Amino acid sequence: MNEDQPERWPQEPRRPWWEDPGNQGTLLDDQSGPMVRPYVMTSGRLEPARGKFDLITLVVAAIPEPDGHLGLGPEHVAILRLTQSVMSVAELTGHLDLPVATVRVMLGDLLDQGLISMQEPEPEADMHDIRLYKAVIDGLRAL
Amino acid sequence: MASGLSDGRRLPTAVKIVIAGGFGVGKTTMVGTVSETTPLRTEEVLTDESVGVDDVSGVERKKTTTVAMDFGRITMRDEYVLYLFGTPGQERFWFMWDEVALGALGAVVLADTRRLADCFPSVDYFERRGTPFVVAVNCFEGVQAFDLEEIKAALNLGRDVPVMLCDARRLESCKTVLIDLILHAMKVRGLTPEPQQA
């Protein structure tokens, strides 16, 4: 399709921000996770301002890894760090250990500010592209 | 629709396969066997408003439930990346299934012959939804291989639904199941699969 293929993704993702030694003060213990309620991170919002964000929508940061917080919350910054390589919404929720709805709201904010690009999956109606099936079969055989 | 990166590269397109079946049948095992990374878990926090709770009378505070799905990833050489989602086992989270099943290439229904009825809801779901699926009987240790025709009859499957034995712990076995699923999905969608798969 396009000569410029995306780079192969790293095998091991970056550690989430709360595992960063600099952020250990945010945890009570290993099991507790970040001590902020998910809806606080989204200021009570349940739906993203923009975008639908399917679980397999692919997201990539449109800017280099931010040094400071750019006026963003730590979770927004964590998303920008993780999406320096292409990552699905589902993977982001897994790495951030946050509920899907929360991550969607934050992705909507980032999209709104032009800080991420995304690729929605093929709609169900478009699943008649034989190349797609052949590529998947080849990929599975190569495992 | 395809949004490019600022430097002109294109993002790959993600596709998905659903791994369904009863609790403890080996869904997460299969996801882990084929995934190129350690399987991750995605969680949805629900209030009882969104769940078909049997009886909420007398419950004064809203309860929340977390529904978890394990998933893995396989990066395809070209412009695709494949995700495998293990469905949440509990049937009352059907709406989560809808989200995962929407746009899926197809589904693998894992079955355990000792508890064959556990996979009825999955079979029923994908039949009603029109999602192409295969039934893979996970052969646990010490379990005799069953006659596939018997299983097909017990599940009341359409004649064209492939039924096969598998070992969710073995890569080659999982690969075969997934490739058979893709070939079946092509047939269901009217695409011509390779000739040897008549």
In a domain, A76, yes or no: yes
User: Cα torsion for A107, B95, B13, B110, to the nearest 10°?
Assistant: 130
* Model confidence at A31: pLDDT above 60: no
Compute the nearest-CA separation of A20 from chain B (Å): 19
The range of the structural domain enclosing residue A111 comes to: 17-21+32-141
State the DSSP string of B124-138.
HHHHHHT--EEEEEE
Q: Which of B59-63, B121-125, B153-157, B174-178 shows the lowest mean pLDDT across its residues?
A: B59-63
Does A111 fall in a domain? yes
Contacts of A12 in chain B (CB under 8 A): 37
Q: What is the CATH code of the structural domain delimited by B13-189?
A: 3.40.50.300
Q: Is residue A44 helix, strand or coil?
A: coil
The residue among B98, B38, B27, B192 whose CA lies nearest residue A94 is: B38
Contact A136 B15 (CB under 8 A): yes
Cβ contact (<8 Å) for A1 and B73? no
Confidence grade of residue B98 (pLDDT, cut at 50, 70, 90): confident
Backbone angles phi, psi at B193, to 5 degrees: -75, 175
Instruction: Please determine, for residue A27, whether its predicted confidence score (pLDDT) is greater than 60.
Output: no
Give the domain ranges of chain B.
13-189
Test B81 with A88 for CB contact under 8 angstroms. yes
Question: Does the distance separating the beta carbons of A54 and B3 come in below 8 Å?
Answer: no
pLDDT classification of B67: cutoffs 50, 70, 90: confident
Contact indicator for B71, B42 with CB cutoff of 8 Å: yes
- Structure ipTM: 0.84
User: B14 in contact with A at a CB cutoff of 8 Å?
Assistant: yes
Residue A3 lies in a domain: no
In a domain, A26, yes or no: no
What is d(CA A9, CA A98) in angstroms, rounded to the nearest whole number?
22
Rounded CA-CA distance A46/A43 in Å is 9
Sequence-ordered alpha helix ranges (H) in A1-143 = 38-41, 74-82, 89-96, 100-112, 130-141
pLDDT at B122 over 80: yes
Average pLDDT of the residues in B158-162: 90
Q: Do A136 and B79 touch (CB under 8 A)?
A: no
Q: Contact B55/B107 with Cβ under 8 angstroms?
A: no
Residue pair B157/B129 in contact by the 8 Å Cβ criterion: no
Residue for token pair 């998905």: B16
**Stated pTM of the model:** 0.80
Q: What value does the mean pLDDT of chain A take? A: 79
Amino acid at B110: L
Report the chain A residue with the minimal C-alpha distance to residue B100: A55
Of A4, A94, A127, which is closest to B41 when you measure between CB atoms?
Answer: A94
